[in-house]
Amino acid sequence: MELFTKTLFLCLALALTNGAPAHHDAAVDDASLPDRCDGIGFDAITPDKNGTTFFFRGSHLWEGFHGPAQLSNESFQELDDIHNIGHVDAAFRMHNIEHQDDHDHIYFFLDDKVFSYYDQALEEGYPKEIQQDFPGVPSHLDAAVECPKGECMADSVLFFKGQDVHVYDIVTKTVKTKTWSHLPVCTSALRWLEHYYCFHGNNFTQVPPGYSERVSGVYPKDARSYFMKCPNYGHGGDYKVLKCSDVKIDAITTDDAGKSYLFAGSIYKRLDTRRDGLHAFPITRSWKEVTKGVDAVFSYADNIYLIKDDQVYIYNAAAHYTLIDGYPKTLKEELGIEGHVDAAFVCPDDQTVHIIIGGTISAIDLSATPRVVLRERPLPFSDIDAALCSAEGINVFKGATYYHYESPMTLAMSRIAPEPLNVTRAMMGCEE
């Protein structure tokens, strides 16, 4: 767990930097504003639909992992004296993809009332009694957090009051209550990148997905070292978000579970986690044996293949990216090829990996043992950085531009490169 602690420290530090200034969060221009580094903690924490996390205390909030406090009613205008709200007891973002009228809405709780917001505007008919929207859920809550199906048994909300956890099934509108006497009383809670955190004062405790009764690691930990920028609390890491015109990636892939990864240097990004924001992590966080970056990556049959120099590392995605016994192996052993791999991709529902080496693309049958090179063809360009195949076609990346093709065949048969397109913020999370 020491490795997890160091990794979490660096991962959150990378998220915190994102071009932020080096000073801490205290509002030096207005001493009357609260300082999130004072160790008091938060009343509620919730992300919005764009993945921006809001931290609430009293009548103020902090937007994101760094920056000064501001009045809550500057962002959520009805959180003011009209409704007698000086603070919130709990807050969460709804995960309900089956009912888009509720999905990504933010719910605030105060005493026995609930407020529903979308795009930071209070919805008509609110506030309501908590029982109207969440029958069986008690009033005067301490914390709340979303729990999507797959992490909980069904799309749910976890409501905390004292040491009781009320698991609310949003489909059946039923509640199951558990008492976790071994956990601290949560004053706020957050689901962040598929991990769950119970905040209590300035500390936090991680709870496994699905809110099982096991707590792993040494807890509590000080939130000031992980979820904010504070003086005398190191953050580590110096990653900054690149301008889109400066982007240069090493690899990109989407696995069978729909998780999309971008690799550049020693870091990677999850591109499918926009609901939690896009954040950079060290590659060794998920693939600890790959210590010197990657040349190419592709996904096939619940496995992810990472290629560096002449070595192929295969990890089982279903087993939290566990390195398969006997790996790494050489390119010759695993794929029947040699040379410096520039890019690799597998299209959805296909058994062929396409490997780009210099100005040549090779098609290799992954269903055959040993692997069989089906064909090799020249390309109208070289020095490719990465490639990705999806239902929309193939994108071949070169620096801050990419070429789009409808299929592997049109890529392999082309003799003239199409007009290059520019990488966008929506694709890479870069700054335009």
Of 225, 260, 293, the last residue of a domain is 225
- The whole-angstrom separation of Cα 393 and Cα 278 is 24
One domain for residues 386 and 256: yes
| The 70-71 sheet, strands edge to edge | 44-47, 53-57, 60-63, 70-71
Total domains present in the chain = 2
One domain for residues 198 and 68: yes
Helical segments of 264-336, H only: 331-335
Give 164-216 pLDDT, tens digit per residue.
999 999 999 999 999 888 788 999 999 987 889 999 988 999 886 554 555 55
One domain for residues 78 and 200: yes
pLDDT class of 82 with cuts at 50, 70, 90: low
Mean pLDDT lowest for which of 26-35, 91-100, 220-229? 26-35
One domain for residues 200 and 311: no
* 17 has a pLDDT exceeding 60: no
Alpha carbon 237 to its chain centroid, in Å, reads 18
One domain for residues 301 and 400: yes
One domain for residues 212 and 250: no
Name every residue whose Cβ is closer than 8 Å to that of residue 290 and which is 6 or more positions away in sequence. 283, 284, 306, 308, 313
- The whole-angstrom separation of Cα 285 and Cα 3 is 9
* Domain membership flag for residue 37: no
- The whole-angstrom separation of Cα 313 and Cα 86 is 54
* Domain membership flag for residue 26: no
* Domain membership flag for residue 382: yes
Task: Report pTM.
Answer: 0.68
- The whole-angstrom separation of Cα 90 and Cα 110 is 7
- The whole-angstrom separation of Cα 253 and Cα 262 is 7
* Domain membership flag for residue 19: no
CATH number for 320: 2.110.10.10
- The whole-angstrom separation of Cα 363 and Cα 354 is 5
- Phi first, then psi: what are they for 221, rounded to 5°? -120, 155
One domain for residues 169 and 288: no
Of 225, 258, 274, the last residue of a domain is 225
* Domain membership flag for residue 286: yes
Instruction: Pull the structure tokens for residue 356.
Output: 């780009």
* 411 has a pLDDT exceeding 80: yes
The chain-wide mean pLDDT, for the chain, equals 86
Domain holding 371, by residue range, is 244-422
Strand blocks (E) in 265-385: 267-270, 280-282, 296-300, 303-308, 311-316, 322-323, 329-330, 343-346, 352-357, 360-365, 372-378
Give 127-143 pLDDT, tens digit per residue.
999 999 999 999 999 99
Q: Torsion angle, CA of 229/90/140/184, rounded to 10 degrees?
A: -50
One domain for residues 204 and 267: no
Give 344-392 pLDDT, tens digit per residue.
999 999 999 999 999 999 999 999 999 999 999 999 989 999 999 999 9
Of 173, 197, 225, the last residue of a domain is 225
* Domain membership flag for residue 357: yes
- The whole-angstrom separation of Cα 138 and Cα 173 is 14
- The whole-angstrom separation of Cα 341 and Cα 313 is 14
- Count other Cβ atoms within 10 Å, centred on residue 266: 17
* Domain membership flag for residue 10: no
One domain for residues 250 and 398: yes
One domain for residues 111 and 188: yes
One domain for residues 211 and 274: no
* Domain membership flag for residue 146: yes
One domain for residues 221 and 293: no
Q: Are 180 and 165 in contact (CB under 8 A)?
A: yes
**Confidence at residue 312, expressed as pLDDT on a 0 to 100 scale:** 98
* 328 has a pLDDT exceeding 90: yes
